[in-house]
Amino acid sequence: MASLIISTKEKSYPIYIGNGLRYQIQTILEKNAIPYDSVLIITDDNVAPLYLSDVAKGLKAPVHTFIVNNGEEAKSFANYITIQTYAIQKKLTRQSLIIALGGGVIGDLAGFIAATFLRGISYIQMPTTILAHDSAVGGKVAINHDLGKNLIGAFYHPQAVVYDLETLNSLPRRQQMSGFAEVIKHGLIDKDQALLPFISGKDQDELFSDYHFLREILSHGMKIKAEIVKKDEKETNIRKFLNFGHTLGHAIESESNYRYLHGEAVIIGMIFALYVSEVYFSKELGFQKYKTWFEKLGYETSIPPSLPITNLIEKMKVDKKVVANHIHMILLRDIGEPVVVRFTTEEITEFMHLFIRE
């Protein structure tokens, strides 16, 4: 049984979350009447030796596989074209299916290939990272351009998301924690506050040692994202709230040459946004409490001293989400109540200096 149904204007599709689902892909395809005359599984060189054959062996049609080198660099034009060529050579048709088996990188790359091959064919997201609980929902798929991340892409939903939580056991703890930052983000922006109270204050072991608990919090996270996306698929309005912590987060990622993983940078961005929110709205939101919790979880919570503030601010400006010369930040008017606020460069500089002294 599907754990969640995502409804969008164009279509609705199921999300399955459970243990060992990689062995059940054929049953899931049949149950959802997803036809396919052949399959192309796209994955990376870390995931392939662990799970590729488990997925492939259950399928009842010719299976082709394409394995890219792991890492953000995989979302390249070169891979995009090479895989399209491979799909043409293997004679994939409009009825063929692409399976994205991997983290957010594979989801974005394989999803964009599916969106454009023969003007769009079906695809399934099989996330294998915690971060991908986020990226597999919402239909945003993209590759990178030399001038910036995710600049070439589409909005293209999968036919289903099949999340086998057993695969998370092999994910390095640092990657798990980076992905967990997005779970925290979903908790902080959720108006119903159905997630945050369950995770707040818990340590790493409490979060990751109980399968049922993990399943619960990941489905909650996906549900929160799905609700927001449902109301605003094309990011003209409230979908922006999903960028909470990301204005500074992206700047730290990029300015540190990706020494900080996405979630590690977003944690610093979120704690900064909480700080600014408290000052801007003159309201106690638990900044200290969250900072202490994030540190207990092993996250860094300060802006890295090695990264010059002026460079970070420049990066915050060139961020895709910035209009004109201002910086847009997502703040919290209250926990679970995100709002977009526009600041001048001078205002942000001031906040950054105050935050550093905090």
Ligand X SMILES: NC(=O)c1ccc[n+]([C@@H]2O[C@H](COP(=O)([O-])OP(=O)(O)OC[C@H]3O[C@@H](n4cnc5c(N)ncnc54)[C@H](O)[C@@H]3O)[C@@H](O)[C@H]2O)c1
Whether 96 and 38 have beta carbons less than 8 Å apart is answered as yes
- Give the residue with the Cβ less far from ligand X, 7 or 310: 7
> What is the rounded CA–CA span in Å between residue 172 and residue 188?
25
Q: Which of 17, 92, 110, 171 binds ligand X (CB under 6 A)?
A: 171
- Strands (DSSP E) found in the chain: 4-7, 12-18, 39-44, 63-68, 97-102, 122-127, 140-145, 148-155, 160-164, 327-334, 337-343
HSE-up (13 A, CA, CB side) for residue 296: 15
Q: Which among 25-33, 55-63, 169-177, 305-313 is the span making contact with ligand X, rule CB under 6 A?
A: 169-177
Tokens 């980076």 sit at which residue? 178
Beta-carbon neighbour count of residue 254 at 10 Å?
A: 19
Shortest spacing between CB 354 and ligand X, in angstroms: 29
> What is the rounded CA–CA span in Å between residue 26 and residue 5?
19
- Give the residue with the Cβ less far from ligand X, 86 or 156: 156
Contact characters 38-77, ligand X, x per CB under 6 A: ------x-xx--x-------------------xxx--x--
- Give the residue with the Cβ less far from ligand X, 105 or 352: 105
> What is the rounded CA–CA span in Å between residue 348 and residue 44?
39
Shortest spacing between CB 228 and ligand X, in angstroms: 12
- Number of residues in contact with ligand X, rule: CB under 6 A? 30
> What is the rounded CA–CA span in Å between residue 244 and residue 337?
11
| By the rule CB under 6 A, 221 interacts with ligand X | no
Contact characters 174-213, ligand X, x per CB under 6 A: -x---x----------------------------------
- Give the residue with the Cβ less far from ligand X, 52 or 105: 105
Structure tokens at 303: 């802006």
- Give the residue with the Cβ less far from ligand X, 110 or 312: 110
Shortest spacing between CB 107 and ligand X, in angstroms: 6
- Give the residue with the Cβ less far from ligand X, 42 or 348: 42
Kindly identify the residues of this chain, within the stretch 129-168, that bind ligand X according to CB under 6 A.
Answer: 129, 131-132, 134-135, 138, 140, 149-150, 167
- Give the residue with the Cβ less far from ligand X, 139 or 285: 139
- Give the residue with the Cβ less far from ligand X, 156 or 281: 156
Whether 34 and 46 have beta carbons less than 8 Å apart is answered as no
Kindly identify the residues of this chain, within the stretch 102-131, that bind ligand X according to CB under 6 A.
Answer: 102-106, 108, 128-129, 131
Whether 301 and 244 have beta carbons less than 8 Å apart is answered as no
> What is the rounded CA–CA span in Å between residue 243 and residue 264?
14
Shortest spacing between CB 175 and ligand X, in angstroms: 5
Shortest spacing between CB 139 and ligand X, in angstroms: 8
C-alpha triplet 71, 129, 216: angle, nearest 5°: 165
Kindly identify the residues of this chain, within the stretch 242-271, that bind ligand X according to CB under 6 A.
Answer: 262
Shortest spacing between CB 226 and ligand X, in angstroms: 12
- Give the residue with the Cβ less far from ligand X, 112 or 294: 112
Tokens 């199921």 sit at which residue? 14
Sheet holding 12-18, edge to edge: 4-7, 12-18, 160-164, 122-127, 97-102, 39-44, 63-68
Shortest spacing between CB 91 and ligand X, in angstroms: 28
Shortest spacing between CB 333 and ligand X, in angstroms: 24
Residue 81's SS3 state is helix
Torsion of CA 187, 188, 192, 198, to 10 degrees: 40
Residue 150's SS3 state is strand
Whether 38 and 93 have beta carbons less than 8 Å apart is answered as yes
Shortest spacing between CB 170 and ligand X, in angstroms: 4
Residue ranges in contact with ligand X by CB under 6 A: 44, 46-47, 50, 70-72, 75, 102-106, 108, 128-129, 131-132, 134-135, 138, 140, 149-150, 167, 170-171, 175, 179, 262
